[in-house]
A = this chain, B = another copy of it.
Amino acid sequence: MNDRVSRKPATIKTVASDLGLSIATVSRALKGDDLVTEETRARVNESATRLGYRRDFRGVNLRTGRTYTLCALLTTVPTVEFADPATTHLIQGLVAGTAASDFKVVVLPTDSGENQLAMLDELVANGRFDGFILDATEPLDARIRLLLERGARFVSFGRTELLSEHPYFDIDNEDAAYRATMQLAKAGHTRIALIDAPNRYLFSRQRLRGYRRALIDAGIAFDQAYVSEMDIGIRSVHERVSEFLKLDASPTGFVTSNEVAMLGTLRACRDLPEAVFRSLGFVSRDGSQLFDYIQPAVSSLYYPLFDAGKHLTEMLVEVIRGAPVASLQKVERAELIIRSDAPKPDQDRSTGT
């Protein structure tokens, strides 16, 4: 008759009347509450599966406030410009982290401006989400203060300098930048540029610190002229690095904060004479293994953003379940992957047998 739905879906009520039990008992039985007899529970479960009962989240939401929905606020510029490919991995990871639970993830790209705060306020207020994930943290991140104040559950991708402890996942950016810079220094580069995000972000400051420490350890003087703190858009990086290359003593090594920054950098460097281009050194942070597939060889400090995403939602689920904050702070180290241009077959000949 009704071509939309064969019949009304079974609810707790259906199961209850099927068994002649009260809905209270059925509700308890379904969640495995041992207030009800083993036997009753079994009967309820049998009936539920037979009737095709599925828990309706709408009722749960209304009654308990639980939405079983997480919100990931990803700081990105909605643009047609080539965007960070690792974001795909991050999102896949975020979802993978919820696969074992009832939780779903809503991804919300936001611009990095002031109105992100207002937006977050709104999101917290309207109660559609059980928890939040934030990235691109600032030292005294206003969003995190807001969430703490409101008592909302969240995990941040990146630490803060706030006194209040909160759950976070982070990559050891200082260490990664240190090793990236060191790698270039070891290869003989003395003019090493750092292309990174604006220093309002903590991760940018951490990376700058790692960069400076590496320079000191390598006996190279720090020069602000080689540091570019900017919003990372592939085109703007391209332009900026082109400027760099016009310097009298232009950099010969480049440390970048992500794939986009590196692609923009490479694009600029390709305008140099071939010989000069070949002599340059590139090390990027990397969350997607893109650099396995492009030329020239770019070494990278790799931490799979898939894993990062997975950790983030897994941790957030823990937070929501009430786990203590202490167990929910995690920093992971990136892996240094050294790449160099493989000799081509025709180049082989010269060294050949």
Q: Which residues of A pack against B, CB within 8 Å?
A: 3-5, 9, 52, 54-59, 61-62, 65, 67, 69, 76, 78-85, 87-89, 91-93, 95-96, 104-109, 122, 125-128, 150-151, 234, 238, 263-264, 266-267, 270-275, 277, 288-290, 292-295, 304, 306-307, 342, 344-347
Contacts and interface: CB of A to CB of B under 8 A. Distances in A.
B91 A275 contact: no
Contacts of A91: 87-88, 91, 107, 109
A290 B264 CA distance: 10
B5 A150 contact: yes
Given A80-B289, A85-B85, 15 more contacts: A54-B122, A56-B127, A57-B126, A57-B127, A83-B85, A85-B288, A85-B290, A95-B108, A104-B108, A105-B107, A106-B106, A263-B293, A266-B294, A273-B344, A295-B295
A352 to B, nearest CB: 13
Contacts of A150: 4-5
A280 to B, nearest CB: 14
Contacts of A109: 91-92, 95
A66 to B, nearest CB: 10
Nearest to A122: B54
Given A80-B89, A87-B88, A151-B5, A54 B126 contact: yes
Copies in the complex: 2
Contacts of A277: 344
B273 A346 contact: yes
A83 B76 contact: no
A81 to B, nearest CB: 7
A81 B292 CA distance: 10
A288 to B, nearest CB: 5
B266 A58 contact: no
Contacts of A106: 69, 104-107
B82 A289 contact: yes
A113 to B, nearest CB: 15
The 5 closest A-B pairs by CB, nearest first: A85-B85, A4-B151, A273-B346, A263-B293, A58-B61
A154 to B, nearest CB: 14
A289 B260 CA distance: 12
Contacts of A126: 54-57
Contact of A58 (B108, B127, B295): B127
B62 A347 contact: no
B3 A347 contact: no
Contacts of A346: 273-275
A337 to B, nearest CB: 13
B293 A264 contact: yes
B95 A89 contact: no
A211 B49 CA distance: 50
Contacts of A125: 9, 52, 54
A345 B59 contact: no
